[in-house]
A and B are shown apart, each in its own frame.
Chain A
Amino acid sequence: MKAAQVTMETGAHAAALAVKSARVDVVPGYPITPQTSIMEAVAEMVENGELHARFIPVEGEHSAMAAAVAASAAGARVFTATSANGLLYMHEVLHMASGGRLPVVMCNVNRGIFAPWTLWADHQDSMAQRDTGWIQYHCSSNQEVFNTILQAFRVAEQINIPVMVNFDGFTISHCLMPLTVPPQEEIDRFLPPHEPEWRLDPAHPSSFSNVTNAPEYAPFRQMLSDDIMAAIPLVKQAAQEYKDITGMWDGDTIDTYRLEDAEVVAFAVNSMAAELRLSVDILREQGIKAGLLRPRLYLPFPAEDIINALPQNAQVMVLDRNYNFGHPGGILAAELKSVLFGRRNDITVKNRVMGIGGIDLTRRFMADEIRAMMDD
């Protein structure tokens, strides 16, 4: 048995290494900061023979997703990556991927969206795709990016729903952290070859997504809605089996820190949630019983796991790195309130928006914010 490799890698390179480990077949790609380095790394791996796949250098993100869904319908395992405006440009085709039940996996490297231009992270891009029918993970470390891409392929192919793996631009995509790459045999054991039960096959001609009358259309939409909810146990199973095989664990639908006895719970996603662990330690030193709940899975929203995990009478401080335009505050807070309503009336939810367009979120700043929110 070969030992796992530990090297220093950026988040973007960790993503590319996961694509290689997943033995992906087709990668259409188009550059956009801060995602570009994933595409460059994949193109290089394909060129030098490290990854036996096709890299398609398309002319835009609409085409990247259009090539991805079509390649998936032909039976290939497909990956692509994008950020911000690239993701928005794909919007129409994101719906085709989910409605057509095509298990594409995509990284979105979170970046604030135009206008005006910004290059740095916030979560408006991925959260604006909430209603496209994709499963969405949000990751807080380079290792988690690697691990999650492999878990994403497994879940996507089990349930035939595309999966988006989100992580922050620059703080994750461009920062070096130690990365453990498990031996390929372990990964192959975790992620079997993609064997779709349907594909575009001249030996068995069938057609995909013809015009569909309401009596047939409505059930397809209902099944998509039901099946997205059915992803929750699969996400848990994937995380557990990944741990059994590789020994690594990032949480399943949620990830928690010092939560059991917490009276004040920080609630956030992505890299800021990693930093929030340190904010929790600071608050604890200050005598505040703080804890962290990070939804690793944003869609389907892990309502039951959140409801079960929150300690009695906790004050939940939702730190949103996005706006819920038309409502005060951010999107995560609205999602959280909607699941707690009528179920956990003991919980208080408070919300601030921060870190927009890459404003630095330090442990101390967030600890101070949480303290201030206690008086809101």
Chain B
Amino acid sequence: MKAVTKAYRPISWPMKGAGGDTGTWRTHRPVVDIQKCTKCQICWIYCPEAVIDREESIVDYRYCKGCGVCAAECPTGAISMVKEE
């Protein structure tokens, strides 16, 4: 029989958005020109945030921090960083 107060231990559980809706941090958003995209997956692997869909090169803007690594690494120049309104 445990004799302790409930929820006494500092435990956390995995979830997306542990740092909040990090998309709000963006000053610029990555916009993918699908015409130029060769689906090489380079942006997918370098994105620190894991917000680029591997197959479709679609960005999850809820969490994309707008760092621009994907645009800098895209070999075909398919990603441009567009200033947020």
Contact = CB atoms under 8 A, between A and B. Distances in A.
Interface of A: 99-101, 158-160, 197-198, 205-210, 212, 216, 220, 223-224, 226-227, 230, 233-234
Interface in B1-58: 1-5, 8-14
B58 to A, nearest CB: 27
Contact of B11 (A208, A223, A226, A233): A208
A158 B2 contact: yes
Nearest to A224: B8
B12 to A, nearest CB: 4
B4 A198 contact: no
Given A197-B2, A220-B8, 8 more contacts: A160-B2, A160-B8, A206-B14, A207-B11, A207-B14, A208-B12, A223-B4, A234-B3
B11 to A, nearest CB: 5
Contacts of A197: 2
Contacts of A100: 9-10
Interface residues of B, number: 12
B12 A227 contact: no
B2 A210 contact: no
B9 A160 contact: yes
A161 to B, nearest CB: 8
B32 to A, nearest CB: 32
Contacts of B5: 223, 226-227
From A197, A205, A207, residue with most partner B Cβ within 10 Å: A207
Nearest to A220: B10
B3 to A, nearest CB: 5
B71 to A, nearest CB: 31
A101 B3 contact: no
A224 B2 CA distance: 14
A159 B4 contact: yes
From B2, B8, B9, residue with most partner A Cβ within 10 Å: B9
Contacts of B14: 205-207
Nearest to B9: A101
A212 B13 CA distance: 13
Contacts of A208: 9-12
Contacts of A205: 13-14
From A100, A160, A197, residue with most partner B Cβ within 10 Å: A160
A198 B10 contact: no
B4 to A, nearest CB: 5
B10 A209 contact: yes
Contact of B4 (A99, A160, A210, A216): A160
Contacts of B13: 205-207
A208 B55 CA distance: 35
A159 B9 contact: no
Contacts of B2: 158-160, 197
A235 B62 CA distance: 52
Nearest to A237: B3
Contacts of A224: 8
Nearest to A161: B4
Contacts of A207: 11-14
A158 B12 CA distance: 22
Listed from nearest, the 7 A-B pairs whose CB atoms lie closest are A223-B5, A207-B12, A223-B8, A101-B9, A210-B12, A209-B10, A206-B11
A101 B8 CA distance: 8
A198 B12 contact: no
A158 B3 contact: yes
A223 B9 CA distance: 9
Contacts of A220: 8-10
A100 B10 CA distance: 7
A234 B1 CA distance: 11
15 contacts: A99-B10, A158-B1, A158-B3, A159-B4, A160-B8, A205-B13, A207-B12, A207-B14, A208-B10, A212-B10, A220-B9, A220-B10, A227-B4, A227-B8, A234-B3
